[in-house]
Amino acid sequence: MDKVLIKQLLFHGSWLVFPAIAWLSWRWRGGRHRWLLALLLLGCGVFTWARFIEPQIIQVEQTTLPGTGVTARVALISDIHLGVYKNRAFLERVVDRINALPVDAVVIAGDLTYEPKASELQDLFAPLARLKPPVYAVLGNHDQQAPGPDIDLPLRTALRHHGVQVIEGQIITDSQGRQWAGLGDRWAGKDDPAFLRVADAITRPAIVIAHNPDSAMGLRPADAAVVLAGHTHGGQIRIPWLYRRVIPTQYDFDRGEQIARAPAGPVRVFTTRGLGEIGLPLRLFNPPTIDVLQLQP
């Protein structure tokens, strides 16, 4: 069976939990089944929260990062994963929340998709055209055939059409003199930072955007004021201890601010928990988040 169809059946079939609860509540009412029924209802309650409620919450989390050498207020999002589980209506809500925030720029740290059809991309990402601040982005592994279909080129076309600057392998200087640099996806072998080291490429450490926080391990302290990343989902289903076993990182990244102990020296990294879901359409103790970062000198 097609893997996308399986995910769609899982996503839509999960609504059957409600008639199942009603039937079991009637079938096992009273008597010797009451404790079993109580445990079952508790489990169903947790599942209902993780499947239908928490993934639709959009949380805004404020963090101050002093000592970066840069002054900027950035809205960081990642792992939107539009396609099988998340749709354009969800992105509309994200854009509305960001437009209500006083930020200088929006950063999208990759994995914008989760197996959509290439023909849908223009419409799916149309809400991004309404973002008021400049938008800088890189792509992620799900956008470049690891493991999803390779929609790299049509996705770049759609993003460009909606005013998003994909800056992989580039350094952009904004109107305030801040420099932004983008690393391509690590799993696709596109995160070589050599372009940062061309003579006079950067006049000061740049704000570096990467999908995978592991990419920070190839940087030098002089390359990056801070690396803004995604990819980990913060574990997505954040059950203590267990969630760390599924985070797809080689260097023990999680979420929030961490220091990459890179061979060339420490590099500051901030990893957002992201907005979407892959695998199971669930989030637990880990709601979709827009991180607002106040970078300070």
* pLDDT per position as a tens digit, 137-195: 999 999 987 776 779 999 999 999 999 999 999 999 999 999 999 999 999 999 999 99
What is the distance of C-alpha 240 from the center of its chain?
20
Give the per-residue pLDDT at 276.
98
Other C-beta atoms lying within 10 Å of the C-beta of residue 111:
29
Give the per-residue pLDDT at 166.
98
Contacts of 176 (CB under 8 A, 6+ apart): 71, 72, 104
The sign one gets for the Cα dihedral 117, 120, 122, 124 is negative
Residue 5 clears pLDDT 80, i.e. is over it = no
Share of the chain above pLDDT 90, in %: 78
**Higher pLDDT residue, 259 or 6?**
259
Question: Omega into 147 within 30° of 0, i.e. cis?
Answer: yes
Share of the chain above pLDDT 70, in %: 92
Q: How confident is the model at residue 31 (pLDDT cuts 50, 70, 90)?
A: low
Q: What average pLDDT score do residues 120-131 get?
A: 98
Q: Which two tokens stand for residue 286?
A: 């880990």
Q: What is the average pLDDT value for the chain, to the nearest integer? A: 92
Question: Is 27 exposed, middle or buried (CB count within 10 Å of its CB: 0-12, 13-18, 19+)?
Answer: exposed
